[in-house]
Structure 1
Amino acid sequence: MRSRLATALFALLLACAGVNAETLRMAANLWPPFTDARLSGDGLASELVRTALKRAGHVVVYVEVPWARALRGLEMGEYDLLVSAWYSDERARFGQFSKPYLTNRIRFLKRKDTTVDFHTPADLRRYSIAVGRGYRYSPAFDADTSLHKVPVTDFPMAARMLAAGRVQLALEDELVARFYLNRELKGISDQLEFLPEPLSESGAHILVRLSHPRHQQLVEDFDRAIQAMREDGTYQAIFARHGLH
């Protein structure tokens, strides 16, 4: 009985605090299934972040803008946090990173009826590779000018070029690729497959602006809430709700 009463009182305190709580502006670019205003919960990453911050007593609003504007807006104080960001020293100048709460696994795809011999980065020089224009994959890959990279606007374009034999490889985050292959690219999904080894793996963090007076507290609150969500099954349930595992 005491436990139930304590839980109820805690919930009431959070609700009361929320009445006058600051509304945090969390920004992201369009990157389904992670961030997309058209999806349930504004996407997988957005729902994870919103749920964690709400548990910690914070009110958030989602804003979807191009990536360059999101970064600039955080630096200038227009937004309070970014939903998903990879670590870089440059970004750490104006934002505080949380612990990683997602893993972005960047993988190559090929046609099932072709053979690709990829063991070292040098092996990639034999192949044409569809890459997103302006995307970053890994420092070494991005800087390698000896590779035959074919810029495309998005992954659906890369996948269709791959299926048509216009390129020999395509590169994308695994969950992003699976999202499209299970939906608008379903007609060609059985023609494509992933190479076994990823090009890179990067942790996705929230990035809170250093100019926010409680940036340290926000990050600590988020990290604690995400850990609790992993332990009680909420984290896995959100993945399942988005059809991802």
Structure 2
Amino acid sequence: MFKHLLVCGLLLCPLGAVRAGPAECGDIALAYYELGALYYRGPDGHWTGIDKDVVDELARRTGCRFQTTLESRVRIWSQLASGKLDMSVSGIATPEREKFAQFIPYFKTRNYLLLEGTLPPEAATPEGFLAQASYKVAVVKSFRHGGDYDIWIDKLRAQGRVHEAADFRAVVRLLKIGRVQAILALPTSWVPMLRQEALSDKVRVLDWSPRNSVPHGLVLARARIPEPIAGRLVKAIQAMHDDGTLLAIFRRHIGAELASELLID
């Protein structure tokens, strides 16, 4: 499955203008976004996370020089689409995004619903939540959640029951102050969040889509990353998967129990 995803990422998205030859990778402008265990400040104040460790390892293996910035997810997608940014991380492919970017998957995961703990049992199903007009959900603007979740969110959005926030921190705040009754989050987000915000005993974590793991990948702007460099990154990610480096990175940031769920078979 892992090799199939990588090959499909290349075939679906033919690349545009070449800025560097196959012998040299050169500088690549890459934007991170802050989110849970993917990219966060450690106790020492330095930035760390799954995405940073993956990019650092890619730099070591490929010789590419990544010039990194921290941006909002909304600005990242806008800059990738307009040709102002070379690359980003942990993105989900959609037909619209594949028009301007290709994706190199390096982990898979799925969203869980975090439900306000005081709600009645009937709220713990998608249909039960929809049936109560006063219930609202908060999501990060521009995020895709995969499978049935996006259909469910669209139904709520049509009723004016979706709050869209700029980042995950703002989404969590909406839940804490009672503006919404549920949020969607990946394990890479909700595991550290429940601990940091002392919410473990105040929310229910519901797995509404257990078979809906969604690949997340490096996002390469078609018009800015040449095919030889894309191929080099594909080979490096494959090698990191095969030699256990990716699994070790996942364990470092979310623990051994959940790490194996992120690994693409």
If the TM-score is normalised by the length of the shorter chain, which range does it land in?
0.7 to 0.9
TM normalised by structure 2 equals 0.69
Give, in whole Å, the separation in 1 of the partners of 2:234 and 2:29: 18
Over the aligned positions, Cα root-mean-square deviation in angstroms equals 2.9
Choose the corresponding residue for 1:236, options 241, 247, 252: 247
Choose the corresponding residue for 1:196, options 195, 207, 214: 207
1:18-57 map, 5 Å: 21-36=25-40, 38-39=41-42, 42-57=48-63
Counterpart residue type for residue 63 of structure 1: T
Q: Which residue pairs with 1:4 in the alignment?
A: none
- Does the 8 Å CA contact 2:62/2:236 hold for their aligned counterparts? yes
SS at match of 2:138: strand
Counterpart residue type for residue 57 of structure 2: T
- Does the 8 Å CA contact 1:35/1:43 hold for their aligned counterparts? yes
Q: Which residue pairs with 1:157 in the alignment?
A: 173
SS at match of 2:110: strand
Q: Which residue pairs with 1:11 in the alignment?
A: none
Q: Which fold has the larger relative contact order, with Cα–Cα distance below 8 Å and residues 6 or more apart in sequence?
A: 2
Counterpart residue type for residue 71 of structure 2: V
- Does the 8 Å CA contact 1:27/1:64 hold for their aligned counterparts? yes
In structure 1, the gaps of 5 or more residues are 1-19
- Does the 8 Å CA contact 1:25/1:61 hold for their aligned counterparts? yes
Counterpart residue type for residue 96 of structure 1: Q
Identity of aligned residues (%): 20
Give, in whole Å, the separation in 2 of the partners of 1:61 and 1:237: 24
Please say which structure displays the higher CA radius of gyration: 1
1:45-194 map, 5 Å: 45-98=51-104, 100-112=105-117, 114-117=119-122, 121-127=126-132, 128-132=135-139, 134-136=141-143, 137=145, 138-144=149-155, 145-146=158-159, 148-151=161-164, 154-161=170-177, 167-183=180-196, 185-186=197-198, 188-194=199-205
In structure 2, the gaps of 5 or more residues are 1-23, 260-265
Q: 1:88-144, CA deviations, whole angstroms, 9 ceiling, x for partnerless residues? A: 12221221222x212241111234565434786433313513313525334312321
Q: 1:45-70, CA deviations, whole angstroms, 9 ceiling, x for partnerless residues? A: 23213313431222212211122321
Counterpart residue type for residue 73 of structure 1: Q
SS at match of 1:31: coil
- Does the 8 Å CA contact 2:26/2:64 hold for their aligned counterparts? yes
TM normalised by structure 1 equals 0.74
